[in-house]
Structure 1
């Protein structure tokens, strides 16, 4: 590096660390034929639910974020049994979120900081995330995740059956481009302000072909040309002005989608601003959603529930080893018994209505 380079380039870069390519990681942690079939079949079912061909309710259920492999597998085993029990009326996908967007600072998720200590061993985080997904999907339980970093999907998206673009990134052109090329159905959340127009605009953008800079399976920087995505849908998660899961909110969302010429498919997030980030209110949101469906509102195709083994949340302490087992370290979650009761009650009401 010459003297000019030292004064001009990488002034705030402390170091660079080579990263394994997606192809190498997939070779190290490969799909089995059974896992591949689970992903393919679950994507087909999810698409049919979103487009209205399958009349079941889609439920994205699981921890706000994954921070412990043992907890994730324990939870997945429980959820698989419950999913089978309610499968005639509700199709369950496990929420498996490895990346957390932050308004300011905070833990950014298992992929970025797998040791929860600020060491940022992203290489290990990618391996751990892929291991966890393989463990979960091998049970026959499909996984859903938020796509945040535009490079990460190349490492794990072959194991993901449903994806979300979050409230903080729905307005981002990078994420709209990314969504246009993803292989699974994609939901766009309304913005943190509560604006539905942001998500509707994002869906329109993602429906069209895009070209952007990314990496290929060998890890080479390249231009990715996409076809555009045909199964985008809107997720209502509330906003600064309050929740948006009530009848008039859903009807407003339906009108916006219709006017934009988009697929009229709406999900309701029972957490976040719809519950005021209070886990005890998630049941209230789900009850309202089921009421609307029972009364004939068929634009609602899915719900999201933040759930863990035990209810509530906890702060990350100076020693991650001191964390309590099965409790969220990000947003509050309902506990397992509450999760069972919520889904069983919803299934009963849906069956009675049909």
Structure 2
């Protein structure tokens, strides 16, 4: 069972205990641990803090064009089994070390899953994969996974879906993302202005890139907004503005990974005075939601990099131990296979990393 490695001593409340709002229209099912309480149980110690700070600097230098390596954010669509996720992380760490002169490989350690309508919302919300919504357990299991994943030496990537949950995880994250469904949201843009790591803004589900460029502009500005302190207290949060925000092209009604689309986006960013490069997602709209097409997208992007495109700063790949995906309710679940978007298997992913590393070397020459 996902998360079984974490002993839980949190109270379980099966029945509503009190109204959540003054008119009684929602119920409270029990308290959540505060971010500080979970950080004490699953600490980011001094060694990990130094590692995360170094990784954030490295990601920023690539995004800003100071470091000529290629950023590669790779891993499962959304982690549902922490043990399989750690198995994958150890394999990825070995490949990352082999390519570290050409690539900065970042583990996609996503624990929340945005939904267009309904569906499994991720490990934090439903760690037992049974629809109970045991958020208290999910937060503990998820934080434990992130600490253990960071201990492999890899930088971690995270999509911030619910701003309320960000304080539970952000100290372990080196690259953040706003997804295609939240990139237009003011609370998410405000959150990005305060996050201490580079943040990629995906184009909208429709393929609209303008909304991502507007998100970059908004998140680079300062904002004051309501949030939660690590103590759990409702607080006023001040985001100074995040200069390392950038656009992620993920396709839409049509793919936008081709050289023409990448060049047009770079021109738009330059015209807007937001001249960081772009990251391109090989999955989602760019693969037609078919994981088997990702290697072809990677090959195209590698050709652009090898030809000297220095504005193309990174690539995203959805990948897990096994290929494809399975239904979250499958019995039994296949080990290391995604329960959300289809993923490449590990051997194919290793081939993609080698292709991208060679492209980065050719660009450097």
Q: Which bracket does the TM-score occupy, shorter chain normalised?
A: over 0.9
2:357 maps to 347
2:266 maps to 254
1:105 maps to 118
Contact 1:34 1:138 in 2 (8 A): no
1:206 maps to 219
Mapping of 1:171-190 within 5 angstroms? 171-190=184-203
SS in 2 for 1:151: helix
Contact 2:70 2:313 in 1 (8 A): yes
In structure 2, the CA distance between the partners of 1:63 and 1:10, relative to structure 1 (3 Å rule), is farther
Tell me which of 335, 341, 344 is aligned to 1:334.
Answer: 344
In structure 2, the CA distance between the partners of 1:119 and 1:245, relative to structure 1 (3 Å rule), is same
Contact 2:247 2:278 in 1 (8 A): yes
Consecutive unaligned residues in structure 1, runs of 5 or more: none
Deviations along 1:215-249, one digit per CA (max 9) or x if unpaired, are: 11110111111101110010000012x10011110
Contact 2:156 2:174 in 1 (8 A): yes
Q: 2:184 matched to 1:161?
A: no
Mapping of 1:130-169 within 5 angstroms? 130-169=143-182
SS in 1 for 2:132: coil
Mapping of 1:252-331 within 5 angstroms? 252-317=264-329, 319=331, 322-331=332-341
Say what the alpha-carbon RMSD is for the aligned residues. Answer: 1.4
1:32 maps to 45
Contact 2:183 2:215 in 1 (8 A): yes
> What is the aligned length?
346
SS in 2 for 1:284: helix
In structure 2, the CA distance between the partners of 1:323 and 1:294, relative to structure 1 (3 Å rule), is same
* Deviation (angstroms), 1:34: 1.7
The whole-number CA distance in structure 2 between the counterparts of 1:38 and 1:244 is: 34
1:52 maps to 65
Q: How high is the TM-score relative to the length of structure 2?
A: 0.92
* Deviation (angstroms), 1:293: 1.2
Tell me which of 252, 260, 263 is aligned to 1:239.
Answer: 252
* Deviation (angstroms), 1:27: 1.0
Contact 2:126 2:135 in 1 (8 A): yes
The whole-number CA distance in structure 2 between the counterparts of 1:296 and 1:352 is: 8
2:13 maps to none
Deviations along 1:28-52, one digit per CA (max 9) or x if unpaired, are: 1112222112101100100000001
Deviations along 1:255-292, one digit per CA (max 9) or x if unpaired, are: 11111111331000000000011111101111111111
The whole-number CA distance in structure 2 between the counterparts of 1:208 and 1:178 is: 11
SS in 2 for 1:92: strand
The whole-number CA distance in structure 2 between the counterparts of 1:344 and 1:337 is: 11
* Deviation (angstroms), 1:11: 4.2
Contact 1:231 1:263 in 2 (8 A): no
Deviations along 1:289-318, one digit per CA (max 9) or x if unpaired, are: 111111121110000000000100001126
Q: Which runs of 4+ in 1 moved over 4 A?
A: none
The whole-number CA distance in structure 2 between the counterparts of 1:62 and 1:156 is: 18
SS in 1 for 2:164: coil
Contact 1:99 1:111 in 2 (8 A): yes
The whole-number CA distance in structure 2 between the counterparts of 1:275 and 1:328 is: 17
Q: 2:19 matched to 1:9?
A: no
* Deviation (angstroms), 1:107: 0.2
* Deviation (angstroms), 1:10: 4.2
In structure 2, the CA distance between the partners of 1:308 and 1:259, relative to structure 1 (3 Å rule), is same
Q: Which moved more, 1:16-25 or 1:222-231?
A: 16-25
The whole-number CA distance in structure 1 between the counterparts of 2:264 and 2:358 is: 28
